[in-house]
């Protein structure tokens, strides 16, 4: 499992991988942390996130949106997940329940404010491991 920031002309794209979708999603959170400029290995404040969507792509879109919302609302920067549960039902709802480590934003910190998730170039694939790619509008 790992993550990588990929090339994108105007915005920020990442690739997150893992043996399970859960692992790949956890790596996606670290990728977001790196894009923001916070520490993907740190965090002092725990927050709970729950999202429910109609399919995998929309679930990723909503999950990323929720991370961005959390940052704006609570003046924190996302770091990593402690626990991430994924439930996907065929023809039913798809859910993520995650405990996310964040760090409070202090005056000296210089962090990037991500605007929004996008569907642009979004990829969810399995090739020896789960691969998630997404572009964030910055």
Partner 1 sequence: MDLEKVSENIYKIPKQGEMKVPAKVYASEEILEEMKEDSALEQVKNMAKLPGIEKHAIMMPDGHQGYGFPIGGVAAFDNKTGIISPGGIGFDINCGIRVLKTNLTSAEIKGKEEQLANILSQKIPHGLGKGGYINTNKEDIKQILEKGVEWMHENNHATKNDIECCEENGKLPGKPGKVPEKAIKRGVNQVGSLGSGNHFLEIQRVTDVFNKEKAEAYGLEEDQIIVMIHSGSRGLGHQVCTHYLREFEEEYPEIFESLEEKNLMYAPLGDQLAEDYREAMYAAANYAWANRQGLTEAVRDCFHRIFDETELELLYDVCHNIAKEEKHDVDGEEKELLVHRKGATRAMPAGRPEVPEVYKDVGQPVLIPGSMGTHSHILSGGQKSLDLSFGSTAHGAGRLKSRTQAKQDYWGEDVQKELEREGIIIKANSGSTIAEEAPGVYKDIDQVIEVSDKLGIGQKVARMKPIINIKG
Nearest-CA neighbor of 6 among 36, 35, 41?
Answer: 35
Q: What are phi and psi of 74, to 5 degrees?
A: -110, 5
CA-to-CA dists, residue 109 to 4, 105, 106, 115, angstroms: 23, 6, 6, 18
Among 67, 68, 86, 134, indicate the residue that binds partner 1 (CB under 8 A): 68
Provide the token pair at 101: 């480590």
Q: Does residue 49 interact with partner 1 by CB under 8 A?
A: no
Any contact of residue 69 with partner 1 (CB under 8 A)?
yes
Choose, by CB under 8 A, the member of 19, 50, 52, 72 that binds partner 1: 72
Site residues, partner 1 (CB under 8 A)? 5-12, 36-37, 54, 58, 61-62, 65, 68-69, 71-73, 75-77, 105, 107, 109-120, 122, 135, 137-138
């Amino acid at each position: 499992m790992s993550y990588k920031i990929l090339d994108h002309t105007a915005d920020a794209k990442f690739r997150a991988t893992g043996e399970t979708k859960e692992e790949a999603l956890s790596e996606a959170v670290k990728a977001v942390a790196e894009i923001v400029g916070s520490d993907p290995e740190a965090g002092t404040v725990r927050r709970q996130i729950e999202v429910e969507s109609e399919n995998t792509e929309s679930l990723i879109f909503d999950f990323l949106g929720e991370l961005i919302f959390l940052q704006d609302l609570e003046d924190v920067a996302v770091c990593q997940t402690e626990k991430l549960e994924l439930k996907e039902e065929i023809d039913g709802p798809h859910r993520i329940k995650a405990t996310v480590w964040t760090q409070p934003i202090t005056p000296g910190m210089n962090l990037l404010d991500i605007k929004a998730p996008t569907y642009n170039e979004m990829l969810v694939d399995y090739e020896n491991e789960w691969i998630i790619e997404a572009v964030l509008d910055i």
